[in-house]
Amino acid sequence: MSKVYRGADALVRTLAQAGVRRVFTLSGNHIMSVFDACLDQGISLVHTRHEAAAVHMADAWARLTGEVGVAMVTGGPGHANAVAALYTAQMSESPVVLLSGQAPEAERGLGAFQEMRQADMAAPVTKASWSSAGAAAIAGDACAAIGLALGGRPGPVHLSLPSDALEGACETSRHAAAPPSVAVRAPLLAADSAAKVVDWLADAKRPLILCGPASLTPRGRRTVAALEEHTGVPVVGMESPRGISDPSLGAFPEVLAQADRILLLGKRLDFTLKFGRAPAIAARCGFVQIDPDDDEIHRSRRVLGERLALAVRADTAGAIKQLCAQPTRSAADDWRNEVHAALRARGPAQASATAGVLHPWEACTPLQEILDSDPRSVLVCDGGEFGQWAQACLHAPNRLINGPAGAIGGALPMAVAARLAVPDAPVIALMGDGTAGFHIAEFDTALRYKLPFVAIVGNDARWNAEYQIQLKTYGKHRTIGCELLPSRYDHVCAAFGGYGELVETGDQVAAATRRALACGRAACINVALEGAPAPAMPRRPLV
Ligand SMILES: Cc1ncc(C[n+]2csc(CCOP(=O)(O)OP(=O)(O)O)c2C)c(N)n1
Ligand SMILES: [Mg+2]
């Protein structure tokens, strides 16, 4: 075996120097040199059953650890499969780098095997997307990709790697670039701007600080909690595709409509906030925005006009620190209590009227005790109606949801990566039956790598979220194309070698989940479910 130092070696060395410990991947012709190079650099590969699953895993890893999450796939169709999952990472502001092998540069334009305009394809769902120019460029490109993903508003970056660049020789000393020690950040918020913002908030009667997904990582949640403590202004994190109707925010719309001043702190003014329009937000409510992106600020200016009192381009995490460094001014405790009561508000307990099936409330609530049993528990919730119930009923210090992208299917692979990121705590992932089918083969990945977690599949034998839309919009005689079979997803998991149980009564949920956790293998609890609509916003906050 020759010991030529290749582009692939430069890539892997650069990743290792940047602190990357594992790469989520699926093999393919164009990237086998990188697999080979990983043997020498101590980077572990987690190889999956679908390229989109590899990206979802990198996304979950990034959100839970705060590190960059790296996915690597082969060129052409492997790349195309991966791109779909980048949208979830993009909307969740998750620092992911997708490395895709590519047809060799020497064959470009000749109709090469799996030749495709890969960088163009990934561009709309990434912060930056390009193809490496050759072996000598790879280390620098990898550094740049990581720095870009982590900096500013975090998000996915794509780098295509022609196979002849990966396999081509490059010089060790010249081309192993220094590791990216710091991300490419937006400017720091100046102290006088921070003082102005704090004063502006203190002069409000009913102020709110709204944060976006990047501030809702485990570390982010701790810093925004400190910001609320310091300023006395309620801070609300928003990361749901259902926006202000996020079921985990209870009666939030009631207090949002009363706010007189809102600080958008890295929070986009988009559909999740009804574009700032009344009645969701009062027409006279003023705004200040601190955001790492000029584009976001321009958009807010266009939409809000004079209601935007001040807008500053600045790094979000740095701005939180700077705001916390300002002297506090007295804040209205009544308002803060009112906001908290609204956020806590939930509808009443629910039960299914049909024997042998559970209402989603009965399927979810028994799990809280298990999540509470460990301070590092991980809760993963997908979308769909069952996902909304899970988000309304359950909370945990480590929480991953599908995010503003609103794409379903990521929860199962995310749970696998969550187990790697948080090795010794319970990982519980809740998803609908339709959703479970997207990446069900990732039970195999979990079993191969001995990564136990419990998937709770709410099985109502339909794509219920869409069925509910049909009921409301077209009536009960015009439902079509949303029915599924009451399939035994627990048996599917068992067939891969995992643990499975069927649950048909509420009192079995906690016991079955405990048995699943105790068995130490990936597990699926298939819950026979009544297809209820997502929880409606409770009308009056319960204090
Ligand atoms: C990738 C993707 N495809 C389709 C949709 C549309 N969609 C949203 S929820 C949903 C139904 C989900 O069904 P299931 O997982 O069974 O959950 P349920 O709503 O039945 O509880 C569908 C099809 C989507 N959001 N994302
Ligand atoms: Mg369903």
Is ligand 1 within 6 A of the CB of residue 384? yes
DSSP 258: T
Strand pairing class (286-291; 261-265): parallel
Which alpha helices (H) appear in 46-127, and where do they start and end?
51-65, 77-91, 118-122
Reading phi first (left if > 0) and then psi (alpha if -120 to 50, else beta), residue 360 is in: alpha
Map residue 20 onto helix, strand or coil.
Answer: coil
User: How far apart are the CA of 452 and the centre of ligand 2, in A?
Assistant: 24
User: How far apart are the CA of 463 and the centre of ligand 2, in A?
Assistant: 4
Q: Which of 76, 74, 45, 33 is nearest to 165 (CA)?
A: 33
Q: What is the pLDDT of residue 172?
A: 67
Amino acid at 204: A
Is ligand 1 within 6 A of the CB of residue 242? no
* Matching residue, tokens 């060129």: 75
Is ligand 1 within 6 A of the CB of residue 241? no
Identify whether 279 is preceded by a cis peptide bond (ω within 30 of 0).
yes
Lowest-pLDDT range of 327-331, 408-412, 416-420 = 327-331
User: How far apart are the CA of 459 and the centre of ligand 2, in A?
Assistant: 6
Give me the chain's average pLDDT, please. Answer: 95
- Which atom of ligand 1 is nearest to 386's Cα? 21
Is ligand 1 within 6 A of the CB of residue 411? no
Is ligand 1 within 6 A of the CB of residue 267? no
Ligand in closest contact with the CA of 459: 2
Q: Which residues pair with 442 in a beta bridge?
A: none
| HEC assignment per residue over 438-465 | HCCCHHHHHHHCCCCCEEEEEECCECHH
* Residue nearest to ligand 1 atom 23, measured at CA: 463
Q: Which residues pair with 378 in a beta bridge?
A: 398, 427
User: How far apart are the CA of 402 and the centre of ligand 2, in A?
Assistant: 16
User: Is the model's pLDDT at 290 over the cut of 70?
Assistant: yes
pLDDT in tens, 41-61: 889 999 999 999 999 999 999
pLDDT in tens, 110-161: 999 999 999 999 999 999 999 999 999 999 999 999 999 999 999 999 999 9
Q: Choose which residue among 435, 456, 485, 489 to substitute to test ligand 1 binding: the one with the highest number of ligand atoms within 8 A of its C-beta.
A: 435
* Residue nearest to ligand 1 atom 11, measured at CA: 463
- Which atom of ligand 1 is nearest to 383's Cα? 9
Counting Cα atoms < 13 Å in the Cβ hemisphere of 359 gives 14
Q: Are 264 and 300 in contact (CB under 8 A)?
A: yes
* Matching residue, tokens 């020789």: 169
pLDDT in tens, 365-400: 999 999 999 999 999 999 999 999 999 999 999 999
Local confidence band at 173 (pLDDT 50, 70, 90 cut-offs): low
Q: What is the pLDDT of residue 539?
A: 65
Q: Are 149 and 90 in contact (CB under 8 A)?
A: no
Amino acid at 247: P
pLDDT in tens, 59-74: 999 999 999 999 999 9
* Residue nearest to ligand 1 atom 1, measured at CA: 407
Rounded-to-integer distance, Cα 252 and Cα 437, Å: 33
Q: Are 116 and 75 in contact (CB under 8 A)?
A: yes
Top-confidence residue, 305 or 3 = 305
The interaxial angle of helices 411-421 and 51-65, nearest 10 deg, is: 50
Residue 540, token pair as written in the block: 């009056």
User: How far apart are the CA of 364 and the centre of ligand 1, in A?
Assistant: 18
* Residue nearest to ligand 1 atom 9, measured at CA: 384
pLDDT in tens, 450-465: 999 999 999 999 999 9
Q: Are 396 and 378 in contact (CB under 8 A)?
A: yes
User: Is the model's pLDDT at 179 over the cut of 80?
Assistant: no
Q: Are 100 and 118 in contact (CB under 8 A)?
A: yes
Ligand in closest contact with the CA of 435: 1
- Which atom of ligand 1 is nearest to 388's Cα? 21
Local confidence band at 175 (pLDDT 50, 70, 90 cut-offs): very low
Q: Choose which residue among 463, 482, 524 to substitute to test ligand 1 binding: the one with the highest number of ligand atoms within 8 A of its C-beta.
A: 463
Is ligand 1 within 6 A of the CB of residue 460? yes
* Residue 106: C-alpha distances to residues 74, 111, 477 (Å): 17, 11, 59
Rounded-to-integer distance, Cα 457 and Cα 470, Å: 23
Q: Which residues pair with 427 in a beta bridge?
A: 378
Local confidence band at 2 (pLDDT 50, 70, 90 cut-offs): low
Is ligand 1 within 6 A of the CB of residue 403? no
